[in-house]
Structure 1
Amino acid sequence: MCRLFVGADPALWHTRTRSMRLSGVSTSLRLEDFYWTVLEEIAGRDGLSVGQLVSRLHDELAFAGGVDNFASFLRVCCGRYLHLQAVGAVPRDLAVPIRSLDAAAILAREAAARPVEA
């Protein structure tokens, strides 16, 4: 089982640091190349650069209350995007913008599918 993951191209976990401006502050983010590639795909669906996408995510997250580790948040965003594609909630057709999807409906379906805790 592990060979499927261990045998992958090591370039996927190579890290890259990108400088950008978030809320008017110059900063840098360090993520694995795999995540930068996924962020490029997400951004491209809506005609954004990665910097524009990350800035929007940062601003909306700050408005919602923020997060302690923004890089971790971005990794989870990438994982959620790929999972939502796998379950059919986000079309695999890259011509369909993310902004055109009904986020409330997708989130409601996810919430309904979660197991109820005892």
Structure 2
Amino acid sequence: MCHLFASIPQDDTEMETRSVRMNGQVTSIRLEAAFWHTLEDLAENQGMTLAKFLTTLHDEVLELQGRVRNFASLLRCACLVYLQQQDAAVFEKPGTAPSRHPLSGIRIAS
């Protein structure tokens, strides 16, 4: 069982810091590369650039909850929810397979 997880490419587990401009402010966000890949897919799926998606998400959290306590953790959780929704959609469409590893966003060779 652990072989699946142990075989995740090391490049996907490396931390990556990106500077992002949100609402005119530049901020740095540090996430594992696999999460950045998933966020890029998520943003594209929403018809947005990554910066626009991050800004929109941040603004909506502020509106709903009054503050954003840990944005990096929120982004990781958003990736998990997105991947779970993709998996659910795949099960609704027989004969299709996900293009990414369901836990890390790693591309799977077809």
Both structures adopt the same fold (TM-score exceeding 0.5): yes
Aligned partners of 2:16 and 2:30 also within 8 Å: yes
Q: CA shift at 1:80, angstroms? A: 0.3
Runs of 4+ in 1 over 6 A off after TM superposition: none
Counterpart in the other structure of 1:52: 52
Which deviates further from its counterpart, 76-85 or 24-33?
Answer: 24-33
Aligned-partner residue type, residue 32 of structure 1? E
Counterpart in the other structure of 2:102: none
Counterpart in the other structure of 1:84: 85
The alignment partner of 1:88 has SS state of: helix
Aligned-partner residue type, residue 69 of structure 2? D
* CA distance, structure 2, for counterparts of residue 7 and residue 45 of structure 1: 27
Q: CA shift at 1:24, angstroms? A: 3.0
Q: CA shift at 1:26, angstroms? A: 1.6
Aligned-partner residue type, residue 50 of structure 1? L
Q: Is structure 2 residue 61 aligned with structure 1 residue 61?
A: yes
Structure 2 counterparts to residues 1-118 of structure 1, below 5 A: 1-65=1-65, 66-88=67-89
The alignment partner of 2:89 has SS state of: coil
Aligned partners of 2:58 and 2:68 also within 8 Å: no
* Structure number with larger C-alpha Rg: 1
**Structure 1 residues 11-53: Cα deviation after superposition (integer angstroms, max 9, x where no partner):** 1111111111223322100111101111111111233111111
* CA distance, structure 2, for counterparts of residue 67 and residue 11 of structure 1: 29
Q: CA shift at 1:8, angstroms? A: 1.4
TM-score normalised over the length of structure 1: 0.70
Report the identity percentage. Answer: 37
Aligned-partner residue type, residue 87 of structure 1? A
Larger relative contact order (C-alpha < 8 A, sep ≥ 6)? Answer: 2
Q: CA RMSD in A?
A: 1.9
Gaps of 5+ in 2: 94-110
